[in-house]
């Protein structure tokens, strides 16, 4: 990471950490959502950005993590342990799923991952005893005041995002990152050049599932009530991809930047067009896609922030 | 005896499903685009039929034509104006684009038509024919026949007209087709228009059989997905065959599994198919 | 003494078509062997089978006495068997040096990225691409892309290198340069198997020639004998030419 990028990260972190002292609850809530989506975008970036596999399944892991965390929390497990449990569940599920699905490429992979979320949603709906089914699941109330709660989840989401960012950085600068980049460029050549492509892809997919699941668990604890249609919503699969497309595929800071940009736009839309919200969101998506050059944005000022996988 | 009832039910469903899937399959096979708008196109076609009947007294089977034309035009404009700009890019880009367009269309329909489920209640229905203990609802049967005729028409169009040949040429080798003078952008627009037209027509036919609402879009889309993979992406006969099989499985399967899990099972079948036979029963390898 | 590489009755079928039929051969260290045959003879398939891209339908492949026919491509690369592709397969938007580093880092197992870069630069110097190290691979000319492929393969630290139509698409001058490079590689002790169409390349470079025809090995002899073998001539040039040759050498 160059000095200017590192400085940016430090300044950004400082600003975020200082927010609870200067910002109101609304700002904090907004930032918590941003941090959550930043985590999801980074999670997707492992498999979609680094390895180049178009996964549309983040919602599946998000929802799975939400339910895994919520279910054990409802049975008395302490909050942070529940989140860690959810991360493990998400990772294991991603590992197993990866063994099956990572043989597919392109469209087939995209559809298969898209469909997984739907399947999980139906199964969750059906397991009424465990998950409350369509009636949803309530999480135990903390008993804290609203201000304390907001701050707690703000810092928790920040911690998760920071961990995910650290992991992204480590992957980007490791043999794993280099290998994934090769796989993305030309998987057959990667095979021949000595990369164990199956292993690398599965690691990327597992990382993606684990972090997304952790975010889901935090979300569940934060909102206090979840239901399948909510946490398995396909938008949780689509928005992170858009964020990475905006910010820069396969970069370290790109997903975070993309999350900020997208959510600012989204929030403006939300506040102004309530009934038309989904329609305008759709319009926003269409405009973003039409004006994104194939792959990565190439505005010069972003060059300051982008750090592609490179040899140092 | 009851077997024949399920068989007939499956057949009737099959025709409608084949019609739902054919347009989707064509667009996917030729343009390499997974058209998330497809479900909403079907819904819109159904509403054209419902409103035409309720306000103008036009029979839904006639609305097949109007719905087909309107959705065809909508498809043409959408492809030419919007999708053509990114049609050569990756599945990430194109899928998200059609997803965004779908959000817009769905929102618009929810506002215009509300989320209520509606259906065409025919004043002069063709009634129910009883043949050897099997009950055949004649309106639905007629709808299925029309559906199959539409698919046949599409197939003939692909094989016998110059536009059909252009579409096939573009599908197999875009650059070669271009070199031979085919207007690729226009061909793409016509293909998407055909997809839309079939979706609209399918919607009009469905309006006679099942209640429909803007919320039904994703369900139709999901079924179209599975049928496409089953029959082979890009293959019109494949869509017909896949639709029939799907209709049969749903008809017989509802008995054993209960309809809540039908879609889940369909998706699991989808994934298995993707893994072992991605080009489907009749499709061409490597799209 | 066990051969470096040994194939025993190796076959490979695609559906009903036998692309490679019962091929048996051995390779010793330090040889430059030509692999020739008409189009569709199964040469590339044979290389694909050896490198694990396609598993052999039957038969055994032994590397230094150990069976490798079930190994995956990355495992075979790690053992020191490398190959180039007829249609070059670079990592297009990665730089030239990064392309070669991949070979060093993975197949050759160099743990440190900076060490891998150093080794990559050496191989780039050897193949004459050092000045293009930081260019994206897809900006290179065809001849340079072939050199890149060679450099990448060398970075994998192979002792067997299989070259698949490395001269396709090159002009005469470029071909001569390629040949010099290949001789220099052989001088380092790497055994080379070269698939080629141009007989003059093969005869100038190889001491031994293997001929495939319809997937079968029809000749495996020193160069001088192979070019006079009537079956080879017939396979390449047709039976009338073969007859004429036979008459002449009568």
Length of chain B in terms of residues written: 287
Q: Of B21 and A267, which is predicted with more confidence?
A: B21
pLDDT of residue B280: 63
- ipTM over 0.90 threshold: no
Q: Considering the domain boundaries, does residue B167 fall inside one?
A: yes
Average pLDDT over residues B91-116: 90
For residue A236, the SS3 value is: helix
pLDDT of residue B123: 78
Nearest alpha carbon to residue B230 among B275, B276, B270: B270
- Cα R_g (chain B), whole angstroms: 18
Q: Is the pLDDT of residue B287 over 50?
A: no
For residue A133, the 8-state DSSP code is G
Cα C154 from chain centre = 12
The answer to whether A54 contacts B275, with C-beta atoms less than 8 Å apart, is no
The backbone torsions φ and ψ at residue C156, rounded to the nearest 5 degrees and listed phi first, read -75, 0
How many CA atoms within 13 Å lie on the side-chain side of B66?
16
Q: Is the pLDDT of residue A293 over 80?
A: no
Length of chain C in terms of residues written: 250
pLDDT of residue A47: 95
Biggest CA-to-CA distance, chain A: 59
The answer to whether B274 contacts A100, with C-beta atoms less than 8 Å apart, is no
- Cα R_g (chain A), whole angstroms: 19
User: Are the C-beta atoms of C18 and C215 separated by less than 8 Å?
Assistant: yes
Average pLDDT over residues B54-72: 89
Q: Of B119 and B132, which is predicted with more confidence?
A: B119
Check CB contact of A285 with chain B, cutoff 8 Å: yes
The answer to whether C73 contacts A175, with C-beta atoms less than 8 Å apart, is no
Q: Is the pLDDT of residue B286 over 70?
A: no
Distances (CA, A) of A128 to A89, A132, A135, A137, B43: 19, 4, 8, 10, 31
Q: Considering the domain boundaries, does residue B254 fall inside one?
A: no
Could you report the per-residue pLDDT of C172-224, keeping only the tens digit for each? 888 888 888 888 888 888 999 999 877 778 888 888 888 888 888 888 888 88
Euclidean distance between CA atoms C11 and C22, whole angstroms:
5
pLDDT of residue C76: 93
* Residues near C224 by beta carbon (within 8 Å), at least 6 away in sequence: none
Among B24, B27, B86, B96, pick the best mutation site for testing chain A contact (most A Cβ within 10 A).
B96
Q: Which residues of A touch C117 (CB under 8 A)?
A: 311
Q: What is the H or E stretch that residue C212 is in?
A: strand C208-213
Shortest distance, CA A25 to any CA of chain B (angstroms): 30
User: Are the C-beta atoms of A50 and A171 separated by less than 8 Å?
Assistant: yes
Chains linked to A by 3 or more Cβ pairs within 8 Å: B, C
Pairing state between β C66-67 and C58-63: antiparallel
Of B32, B100, B263, the CB nearest to A286: B100
Euclidean distance between CA atoms A57 and A60, whole angstroms:
5
Please give the share of chain C, as a percent, with pLDDT higher than 90: 28
pLDDT of residue A231: 93
The backbone torsions φ and ψ at residue C189, rounded to the nearest 5 degrees and listed phi first, read 100, 10
Least confident stretch, A209-223, B118-132, B257-271, C161-175: B257-271
Euclidean distance between CA atoms C77 and C155, whole angstroms:
11
For residue A203, the 8-state DSSP code is H
pLDDT of residue A1: 62
Q: Which residues of A touch B274 (CB under 8 A)?
A: 104, 108, 111-112
Average pLDDT over residues B77-85: 89
Could you report the per-residue pLDDT of A102-140, keeping only the tens digit for each? 988 888 898 899 889 989 998 898 888 887 877 788 887
Question: Domain locations in chain C?
Answer: 5-80+160-248, 91-157
The answer to whether B107 contacts A119, with C-beta atoms less than 8 Å apart, is no
Please give the share of chain A, as a percent, with pLDDT higher than 70: 93
Euclidean distance between CA atoms B181 and B189, whole angstroms:
16
The answer to whether B97 contacts A290, with C-beta atoms less than 8 Å apart, is yes
The backbone torsions φ and ψ at residue C195, rounded to the nearest 5 degrees and listed phi first, read -85, 125
What the block records as the tokens of A192 is 């021949």
Least confident stretch, B66-70, B233-237, C59-63, C238-242: C238-242
pLDDT of residue C228: 80
Average pLDDT over residues A166-190: 93
Shortest distance, CA A78 to any CA of chain B (angstroms): 33
Residues of A with CB under 8 A from a CB of C: 175, 178-179, 181-182, 185-186, 188-197, 310-312
What the block records as the tokens of B178 is 């271009």
Could you report the per-residue pLDDT of C47-92, keeping only the tens digit for each? 999 999 888 888 999 998 889 988 999 999 999 999 998 888 889 9
Quickly tell me which residue has 């298969």 as its tokens. Answer: A112
Q: What angle do CA A178, A180, B274 make, to 5 degrees?
A: 170
Euclidean distance between CA atoms C51 and C37, whole angstroms:
20
What the block records as the tokens of B171 is 């599908």
Neighbours of B237 (CB within 10 A): 17
Mean pLDDT of chain C: 86
What the block records as the tokens of B228 is 């496409």
Pairing state between β C17-27 and B128-131: unpaired
For residue C72, the SS3 value is: coil
Q: Which residues of C touch A191 (CB under 8 A)?
A: 53, 72-74
What is the CATH code of the structural domain delimited by C5-80+160-248?
3.40.50.300
User: Are the C-beta atoms of B279 and B285 separated by less than 8 Å?
Assistant: yes
Q: Is the pLDDT of residue C159 over 60?
A: yes
Average pLDDT over residues C87-104: 91
Check CB contact of C44 with chain A, cutoff 8 Å: no
The answer to whether B267 contacts A123, with C-beta atoms less than 8 Å apart, is no
Euclidean distance between CA atoms A65 and A44, whole angstroms:
15
What the block records as the tokens of B40 is 């909403």
Average pLDDT over residues A141-162: 86
Euclidean distance between CA atoms C100 and C96, whole angstroms:
7
Euclidean distance between CA atoms A59 and A164, whole angstroms:
17
What the block records as the tokens of B234 is 């890009």
Helix ranges (H only) for chain C are 43-50, 73-78, 96-102, 113-126, 142-155, 172-187, 199-205, 223-226, 230-237, 239-248
Helices (runs of H) and strands (runs of E) counted in chain C: 10, 10
Cα B225 from chain centre = 10
Nearest alpha carbon to residue A58 among A50, A258, A66: A66
Q: What angle do CA B100, B106, B112 make, to 5 degrees?
A: 140
Region of C38 on the Ramachandran plot (φ > 0 left; ψ -120 to 50 alpha; else beta)? beta
Nearest alpha carbon to residue C34 among C172, C184, C225, C234: C225
Q: Is the pLDDT of residue B197 over 90?
A: yes
Shortest distance, CA A178 to any CA of chain B (angstroms): 22
Confidence of residue B275 (pLDDT cuts 50, 70, 90): confident
Cα C242 from chain centre = 28
User: Are the C-beta atoms of B153 and B23 separated by less than 8 Å?
Assistant: no
Quickly tell me which residue has 């470096």 as its tokens. Answer: C4
Euclidean distance between CA atoms C35 and C18, whole angstroms:
18
Q: Is the pLDDT of residue C243 over 80?
A: no
pLDDT of residue B190: 93
Euclidean distance between CA atoms B253 and B7, whole angstroms:
11
What the block records as the tokens of A174 is 């490791």
Give the residues across from C105 on adjacent strands.
none
Among A279, A287, A293, pick the best mutation site for testing chain B contact (most B Cβ within 10 A).
A279
Q: What is the DSSP string of B138-203?
A: HHHHHHHHHHHHHHHHHHHHHHHSHHHHHHHHHHH-HHHHHHTT--HHHHHHHHHHHHHHHHHHHH
Q: Which CATH architecture has domain A3-304?
A: Orthogonal Bundle (1.10)
Torsion over CA: C95, C101, C107, C113 (sign): negative
The residue segments making up the domain with residue B50 are 2-217
User: Are the C-beta atoms of B55 and B70 separated by less than 8 Å?
Assistant: no
Looking at chain C, which residue has its C-alpha nearest residue A180? C102
Please tell me the total count of domains within chain B.
1
Average pLDDT over residues B131-156: 88
């Amino acid at each position: 990471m160059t000095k200017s990028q590192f400085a940016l990260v430090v300044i950004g972190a400082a600003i975020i950490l200082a927010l609870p002292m200067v910002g109101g609850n609304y700002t904090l809530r907004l930032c918590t959502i941003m941090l959550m989506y930043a985590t999801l975008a980074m999670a997707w970036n492992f498999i979609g950005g680094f390895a180049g596999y178009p996964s549309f399944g983040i919602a599946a892991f998000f929802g799975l993590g939400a339910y895994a965390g919520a279910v054990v929390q409802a049975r008395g497990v302490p909050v942070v342990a529940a989140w860690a449990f959810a991360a493990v569940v998400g990772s294991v599920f991603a590992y197993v799923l990866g063994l099956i699905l990572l043989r597919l490429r392109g469209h087939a992979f995209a559809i298969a991952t898209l469909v997984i979320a739907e399947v999980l949603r139906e199964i969750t709906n059906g397991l009424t005893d465990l998950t409350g089914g369509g009636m949803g699941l309530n999480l135990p109330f903390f008993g804290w005041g609203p201000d304390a709660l907001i701050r707690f989840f703000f810092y928790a989401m920040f911690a998760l995002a920071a961990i995910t960012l650290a992991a992204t950085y480590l992957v980007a600068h490791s043999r794993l990152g280099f290998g994934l980049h090769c796989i993305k460029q030309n998987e057959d050549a990667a095979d021949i050049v000595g990369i164990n492509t199956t292993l690398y892809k599965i690691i990327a997919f597992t990382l993606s599932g684990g972090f997304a699941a952790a975010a889901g668990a935090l979300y569940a604890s934060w909102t206090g009530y979840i239901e399948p249609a909510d946490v398995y919503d396909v938008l949780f699969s689509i928005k992170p991809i858009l964020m990475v497309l905006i910010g820069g595929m396969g970069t370290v800071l790109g997903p975070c930047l993309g999350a900020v940009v997208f959510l600012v736009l989204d929030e403006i839309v939300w506040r102004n067009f309530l009934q038309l919200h989904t329609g305008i969101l759709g319009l926003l998506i269409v405009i973003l896609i039409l004006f994104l050059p194939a792959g990565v944005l190439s505005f010069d000022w972003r060059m300051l922030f982008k750090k592609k996988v490179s040899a140092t | 005896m009851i077997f024949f009832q399920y068989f007939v039910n499956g057949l009737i469903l099959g025709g409608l499903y084949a019609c739902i899937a054919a347009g989707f399959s064509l667009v996917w096979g030729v343009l390499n685009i997974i058209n998330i708008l497809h479900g909403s196109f079907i819904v819109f076609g159904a509403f054209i039929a419902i409103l035409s009947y309720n306000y103008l007294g036009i029979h839904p089977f006639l609305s097949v034509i109007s719905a087909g034309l309107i959705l065809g035009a909508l498809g043409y404009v959408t492809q030419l104006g919007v999708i053509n700009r990114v049609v050569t890019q990756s599945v990430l880009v194109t899928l998200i684009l059609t997803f965004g367009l779908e959000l817009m269309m769905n929102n618009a329909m929810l506002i215009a038509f509300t989320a209520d489920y509606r259906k065409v209640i025919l004043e002069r229905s063709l009634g129910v024919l009883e043949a050897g203990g099997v009950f055949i609802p004649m309106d639905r049967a007629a709808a299925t026949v029309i559906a199959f005729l539409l698919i046949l028409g599409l197939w003939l169009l692909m094989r016998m007209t110059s536009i059909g040949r252009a579409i096939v040429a573009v599908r197999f080798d875009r650059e070669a087709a271009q070199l031979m003078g085919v207007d690729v952008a226009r061909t793409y627009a016509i293909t998407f228009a055909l997809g839309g037209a079939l979706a609209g027509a399918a919607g009009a036919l469905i309006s006679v059989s099942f209640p429909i609402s803007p919320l039904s879009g994703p369900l139709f889309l999901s079924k179209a997905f599975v049928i496409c993979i089953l029959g082979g992406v890009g293959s019109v006969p494949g869509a017909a065959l896949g639709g029939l099989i799907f209709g049969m499985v749903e008809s017989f399967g509802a008995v054993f599994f209960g309809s809540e899990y039908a879609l889940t099972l369909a998706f699991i079948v989808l994934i298995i198919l993707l893994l072992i036979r991605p080009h489907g029963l009749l499709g061409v390898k490597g799209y | 003494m066990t051969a470096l590489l040994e194939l025993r009755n190796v076959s490979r079928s695609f559906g009903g078509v036998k692309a490679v039929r019962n091929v048996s051969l051995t390779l010793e260290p330090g040889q430059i062997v030509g692999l020739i045959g008409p189009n569709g003879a199964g040469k590339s398939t044979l290389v694909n089978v050896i490198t694990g891209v396609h598993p052999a339908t039957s038969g055994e492949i032994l590397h230094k006495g150990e069976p490798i026919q079930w190994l995956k491509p990355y495992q075979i690369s790690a053992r020191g068997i490398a190959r180039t592709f007829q249609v070059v397969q670079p990592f297009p938007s990665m730089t030239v040096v990064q392309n070669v580093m991949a070979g060093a880092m993975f197949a050759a197992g160099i743990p440190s990225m900076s060490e891998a870069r150093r080794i990559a630069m050496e191989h780039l110097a050897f193949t004459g691409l050092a000045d293009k190290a930081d260019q994206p691979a897809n900006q290179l000319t065809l001849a340079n892309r072939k050199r890149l492929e060679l450099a990448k393969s060398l970075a994998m630290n192979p002792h067997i290198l299989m070259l698949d139509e490395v001269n396709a698409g090159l002009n005469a001058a470029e071909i001569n340069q390629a040949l010099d490079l290949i001789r220099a590689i052989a001088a380092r002790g790497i055994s080379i198997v070269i698939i080629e169409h141009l007989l003059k390349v093969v005869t100038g470079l190889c001491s031994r020639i293997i001929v495939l025809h319809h997937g079968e090995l029809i000749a495996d002899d020193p160069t001088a004998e192979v070019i006079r073998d009537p079956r080879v001539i017939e396979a390449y040039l047709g039976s009338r030419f073969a007859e004429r040759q036979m008459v002449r050498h009568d």
